[in-house]
Amino acid sequence: MTVFCGNVLGRYHKKPIKKGQKKPMCKQPKKGRKYVCTEIRCEEKSRGGMSYEVILAEPSADKPHLPTPISPKSMTAEEIAQKLQQAEERRKSMEASRLATVGERKSRLEEASRKREETNAAFISATQAALEDKLDATSSNREAYLNGLRSKITNHLNNVDNVRKQLDAQTNDLRQTIKDKLLSAEENRTESMRKMLLKLKGHEEYAQKVRLGHEDAICKLKKRIQSKLVLASANRDTELMKKLETLRKHDRRAELVRAKKDCLMAEVKNDTASSG
């Protein structure tokens, strides 16, 4: 069958087609038949056009060849027993490898748990040791501070006692001087006694004021020491509560890790039981 197709170069024809002229006809193959294209030839027939010659093969009426069914191969009892034995060996080897994997995983989990417990124990011991060292240092500092305050108060009281003794000695000296003057000068005894009594009275008032001032200072110092002791005790209690809260949090974290470990061990046991 020959098919002619006009291939026009350019967007438009150079010469328009007139009404009387006929368009080129293309023959199509008939429907219902199957053709196989065996060869295509191309030849230039006219300027600006190409003709193609398609050569089709004759229609074939051969039916498709159906494959012959393959008969199943017969097997002997020995081959079946051998295959069953091989399957049993494969199952046993797979079960052994699975048990080995489970055992290795269990040993890894136990090693990780042991290391975790050792780490937790080391952390707890280190924290407890640091807390005890800090408490010992705090108590030693408090004792040193109290000893310093006691020594200061003792020195102050000793100074007050020395001053009192000096004042008493001065008073005794003055009294002895008055007595000596009274013995030596009887005429001016009244005036001298009055002046000396006035002087002794002022001195006694001054000594009383000094004593009261020292007592007030001692009371204030005792109050300050008491307030500082109360503050130090409160700070120590606060620090102890913080450390105890830290230890509680660590214990809770350890409990969570232990629970996760138990869950993993239970899953491993369930996997082993299901595989067995």
One-character DSSP codes across 42-104 = EEEEETTEEEEEEEEPPPP-PPPPPPPPPPPPP--HHHHHHHHHHHHHHHHHHHHHHHHHHHH
Alpha-carbon dihedral sign for residues 9, 12, 13, 17: positive
When pLDDT is averaged across residues 228-250 and rounded to a whole number, the result is 88
pLDDT of residue 204: 86
Band of pLDDT at residue 249, cut at 50, 70 and 90? confident
Residue 173 has pLDDT above 60, yes or no: yes
Q: What is the pLDDT of residue 23?
A: 52
Given a cut of 80, is residue 206 above it in pLDDT? yes
Is pLDDT of 124 > 60? yes
State the distance between the two ends of the chain, measured CA to CA, in whole angstroms: 76
Answer yes or no: is pLDDT of 14 > 60.
Answer: no
What value does the mean pLDDT of the chain take?
77
Q: Are the CB atoms for 174 and 196 separated by under 8 Å?
A: yes
What pLDDT shows up at residue 212?
86
Residue 54: predicted pLDDT = 64
Asked whether 270 and 108 are in contact (CB, 8 A), the reply is no
Q: Which residue has the tokens 């048990």?
A: 99
- Whether 52 contacts 37, CB under 8 Å: no
- Prediction pTM value: 0.24
Worst-scoring range by mean pLDDT, 35-49, 152-166, 253-267? 35-49
At 67-117, the pLDDT tens digits run 665 655 667 888 888 889 889 998 888 998 889 899 888 888 999 988 989
Count the Cβ atoms, other than its own, within 10 Å of residue 242.
11
Q: What percent of the chain has pLDDT over 70?
A: 72
